[in-house]
Amino acid sequence: MTTRPRSRELFAAARQRIPGGVNSPVRAFRSVGGEPFFVDHAAGARIRDVDGQEYIDYVGTWGPAILGHAPAVVVEAVRAAAGRGLSYGIPNPLEVEMAELICAWVPSVEKVRMVNSGTEATMSCVRLARGFTGRDKIVKFDGCYHGHVDSLLVRAGSGALTHGRPDSAGVPADLAALTITLPFNNAAELEATFAREGGAIAAVMVEPVPANAGLIPPRPGYLAKLREACTAHGALLVFDEVMTGFRLAKGGVQELTGIRPDLTAMGKVMGGGLPVGAFGGRADVMDHLAPEGPVYQAGTLSGNPLAMAAGLAQLRELGRTAAWTRLEELGRQLEDGLRGDVAASGVTFHRAGSMFSLFFAEGPVQDADDAKKSDTAKFAKFFHYCLERGVYFPPSQFETGFISTAHTDEDIVRTVEVVAQALRHAA
């Protein structure tokens, strides 16, 4: 067992002053046991911890590090921007460049507003959808995560659809009651819900490729069903592409599927590692935002010049190098390399481009209930075995791994080797 004395010390100190020792719960390693390592620095596909251990990183700060850590083009852009001032609170040209780039790349986006996180983006979509339609109810899917927004921290009890029960203390039951949660990939439940209360539904919010209960691709035709139901009943379709946007393709899942949502939430990759989100879509809907319209939304640091500079540098580098081809190639290498061992171990491997997850469950895994059948004790064993050997996967069965353009063919070969051993170890 590797010891990490410096990380242990830091975690003990952190727990004295930060709830649970972390600023976001998954970092505490609760679902795999043990304690987190503290990072000294990260470069390319590698993270080095404060005890000098190095890891091939498949978390990539939960998605943003699509070019690897500290890519020179992004770091240089931030340096240059910093010399011109850190925040202005009045328009700067980089905001316009970012808005134009997003509208050029993301098929459904005609107008866009910047915020500071994915949570802010989805929260603003909910308010805007309610303000635009004059309706209160929101439909979401069990296992989809849209940030820690009150209205979206709700999932159904298993089985038949139920009105929302909050997932978190502090979410008023009256608010949760306005959220309807459905099983993903189930068209019949969706149709029944719209037939019953379509006239009250402001929006359907979905991760078009859900990646927060492990990775669960939509069944063929399912996203088209969502589009049809929303159009037929006057509800807005909101794609939460905070994770998939700019990662699975230049224009996200909406480019790959041809399905056009009314609103899109973005974040992660578009910030280049700085705190950024955005939401955008139909101009007639977006024009309901203040100061143009009656829906209030604002932010002291929104459109921050450092964040815009970092994001623009990252997105332009992705575009310049057509990085998605390389990311798909690396993803395929990992999938091909693991195929035999996955089949022999009774686990289920899902991949979309450079996103992947390994369920310790027999397939098919088509919704959150299937994912929850995973053997999380085996996952924990698997996770620690890999970490000990220098491969860092997300520290939970219900998260998704990310490949970056900084990963090399050799990294993938080494990873396949470690995973094959880890699967035997965890069996």
Ligand X SMILES: *Cc1c(COP(=O)(O)O)cnc(C)c1O
Hey, which residues are catalytic here?
145, 240, 268
Q: Determine, following the binding rule CB under 6 A, whether residue 146 of this chain makes contact with ligand X.
A: yes
CB 243 within 8 A of CB 211: yes
Q: Closest separation between CB of residue 159 and ligand X, Å?
A: 25
Residue 100 burial (CB < 10 Å; 0-12/13-18/19+)? exposed
Q: Determine, following the binding rule CB under 6 A, whether residue 401 of this chain makes contact with ligand X.
A: no
Nearer to ligand X, 243 or 315 (CB): 243
Q: Closest separation between CB of residue 55 and ligand X, Å?
A: 21
Q: Determine, following the binding rule CB under 6 A, whether residue 324 of this chain makes contact with ligand X.
A: no
Nearer to ligand X, 345 or 357 (CB): 357
SS3 20: helix
Q: Determine, following the binding rule CB under 6 A, whether residue 247 of this chain makes contact with ligand X.
A: no
Q: Determine, following the binding rule CB under 6 A, whether residue 118 of this chain makes contact with ligand X.
A: yes
Closest CA to 244 of 231, 262, 227, 257: 257
The helix or strand, by DSSP H or E, that contains position 315, with its residue range, turns out to be: helix 305-320
The interface with ligand X within residues 201-240 (CB under 6 A) comprises 207, 212, 240
Nearer to ligand X, 146 or 233 (CB): 146
Q: Determine, following the binding rule CB under 6 A, whether residue 64 of this chain makes contact with ligand X.
A: no
DSSP state of 21: G
Q: How far apart are CA 166 and CA 154, in angstroms?
A: 5
Q: Closest separation between CB of residue 144 and ligand X, Å?
A: 7
CB 386 within 8 A of CB 418: yes
Q: Determine, following the binding rule CB under 6 A, whether residue 396 of this chain makes contact with ligand X.
A: no
Nearer to ligand X, 239 or 385 (CB): 239
CB 359 within 8 A of CB 383: no
Q: Determine, following the binding rule CB under 6 A, whether residue 367 of this chain makes contact with ligand X.
A: no
Q: Closest separation between CB of residue 394 and ligand X, Å?
A: 12
Residue 319 burial (CB < 10 Å; 0-12/13-18/19+)? middle
Q: Determine, following the binding rule CB under 6 A, whether residue 145 of this chain makes contact with ligand X.
A: yes
The interface with ligand X within residues 124-143 (CB under 6 A) comprises none
Q: Determine, following the binding rule CB under 6 A, whether residue 117 of this chain makes contact with ligand X.
A: yes
The interface with ligand X within residues 164-203 (CB under 6 A) comprises none
SS3 56: strand
CA–CA distances in Å: residue 202 to residues 132, 182, 230, 253 = 8, 15, 9, 22
Residues that bind ligand X (CB under 6 A): 117-119, 122, 145-147, 207, 212, 240, 242-243, 267, 277
